[in-house]
Amino acid sequence: MTPPLYIALRFLMHRKRAFLLSLSGVVFGVGIFICSQAQTEGFAQQFINSTLGSNGALVLRSRFQPLGAGLPVPPKKTALHRRPTQRRYIEGITNPREIMRVSRQFSNVAGCSPVLRGTLSARSGFENATVDLYGIDAALHVRATDLEKQLVSGTFEDFRDNSASVIIGSRLGQELNLAAGDSVQLLSPGGEYWRFTVAAIARSGVGAVDSARVYSHARMAQTLLRKPFAASMIIYKLREPDRAPALAAHLENLFQHSAQSWQEREAGNLQLFMTLRISAAITVSLIILLAGFGIFNVLTMSVLSKVKEIAILRSMGYRRSDISAIFLWQGAMIATAGALLGCLAGALLTWGVSLIPIRVRGLIVADYFLVAWNWQHYFWATMLAALAVFIASYVPARRAAHLAPVATLRGSSV
């Protein structure tokens, strides 16, 4: 007997226009799904890379003391407020070098840098702005962050070799009309203005960083801020950033300092990007669902138009499973061809979108549409198309299998 696959191909070729319309629906749905997921993940990945490069994958902050260790026990409160009252936080890190020495023994720690942080007022000409001052050790900080790679003007050597110099964020530089080589004044808590040379301008890609961040040398920052401690936090660069929460919990217990992973720090923004990805996936999935309805109609009409042929095949000895396989094979061919062409279309669309110029200066900074090349986009698009086509093919295939051959050949209606 002729194989069901060959018969399915012949049936499809007799309805070429319907076949092409069904195929185009799958191709379009798969391609748009891949492109939309590449865009949403691309922007999310850019934000993650930028924030890791500026703020680290893990941050160790204030030392804490458990209540009960030489401290008065506060009155009991509800469970909602229980955790904050279990510790007393003490600002500053008094032994950052020793903590970093021990931290480097962990295999996941690629680098760490002490930072003395404070909020000041900056002035340039007639412009004023509130800035976030980061006092850093230049040699250690470039190993823990991407600061040196983020410079868009000036050089890191100019900053490293001049203790009276600073690096400022790109958006802050625009606000204060500053460029590399200009002077900026920072107001100390004592009310005195200190003059610094702008050694370089940095663009991290994170709006909050670029609009307020100023980097200075740690000793200069300690004198300017009048802090008794050398560091207010330690920034960590990790070889596997996804494992930051586990390491944060371990370091917190080890050093008795509060530790925060980047996932916890950026939880709100990460949820926003995840919501956008899910929303885009649901919206585009409707296109594939509509393509499935089209395939359902095509195969149903194919069954109605091939009633006599099906009856003849049954009378020749084809079983119900063989008849059902003929129409399932039609759906499988549509799904396979549609998925392959759709993946190709998705790749071309993704590449084309990545060339479109835009100007984003908000949560992230981008000059072109950001895309991510991820094999999972193609996998899930193919699985979604296969599922939709299978569901659309099953009912017509089942109906064809249950046609009564004798009644059909005698001219009875379906």
The region of weakest confidence among 2-11, 93-102, 134-143 is 2-11
Which single residue is written with the structure tokens 């799958």? 26
Q: How far is CA 411 from the centre of its chain?
A: 61
Per-residue burial over 302-336, b if 16 or more Cβ lie within 10 Å, else e, is bbeebbeebbebbeeebeeebbbbbbbbbbbbbbe
pLDDT reported for residue 73: 46
Average pLDDT across the chain, whole number: 82
The answer to which of 118-127, 206-215, 295-304, 348-357 has the lowest mean pLDDT is 295-304
In this prediction, residue 78 carries a pLDDT of 42
Residue whose token pair is 């510790």:
87
Planar angle of CA 148, 151, 155, nearest 5 degrees: 80
80 pLDDT above the threshold of 60: no
Rounded-to-integer distance, Cα 250 and Cα 102, Å: 12
User: For the residues 268-295, what does the mean pLDDT come to?
Assistant: 80
**Section 50-56 average pLDDT:** 89
According to the per-residue pLDDT averaged within each range, which of 9-23, 43-57, 234-248 is highest? 234-248
Strands 193-202 and 183-187: antiparallel
- Report residue 271's pLDDT band, with 50, 70 and 90 as the boundaries: confident
Mean pLDDT value of segment 125-147? 92
pLDDT recorded at residue 214 = 94
- Which band of pLDDT confidence, cut at 50, 70 and 90, is reported for residue 189? confident
* pLDDT tens sequence across 119-130: 999 999 888 999
């000041």: which residue's tokens?
120
Q: What is the pLDDT of residue 310?
A: 64
| Alpha carbons 53 and 293: distance in angstroms, whole number | 47
Report the distance separating Cα 301 and Cα 295, nearest Å: 10
> Which segment of 3-12, 203-212, 329-338 scores lowest on mean pLDDT?
3-12
pLDDT of amino acid 67: 65
pLDDT tens, 345-384? 999 999 998 898 887 776 777 778 888 898 998 999 888 8
Average pLDDT over residues 254-276: 88
In percent, the amount of the chain with pLDDT more than 70 equals 81
State residue 77's pLDDT score: 46
Spatial CA neighbour of 311 closest among 194, 230, 412, 395: 412
Contact 385, 342 (CB under 8 A): yes
Is pLDDT at 147 greater than 80 in this prediction? Answer: yes
Domain borders along the chain are: 4-52+269-409, 58-261
142 pLDDT higher than 60: yes
Per cent of the chain over pLDDT 90 is: 37
Query: Which of 292, 235, 233, 353 is CA-nearest to residue 30?
Result: 292
Distance CA 380, CA 129 (A): 48
DSSP state of 74: P
Which SS3 state, helix, strand or coil, does residue 3 take?
coil
Tokens of 292: 């499935």
Residue 313: pLDDT band by 50, 70, 90 thresholds?
low
Beta bridge partners of 151: 202
pTM for the structure as a whole: 0.74
pLDDT at 291 over 70: yes
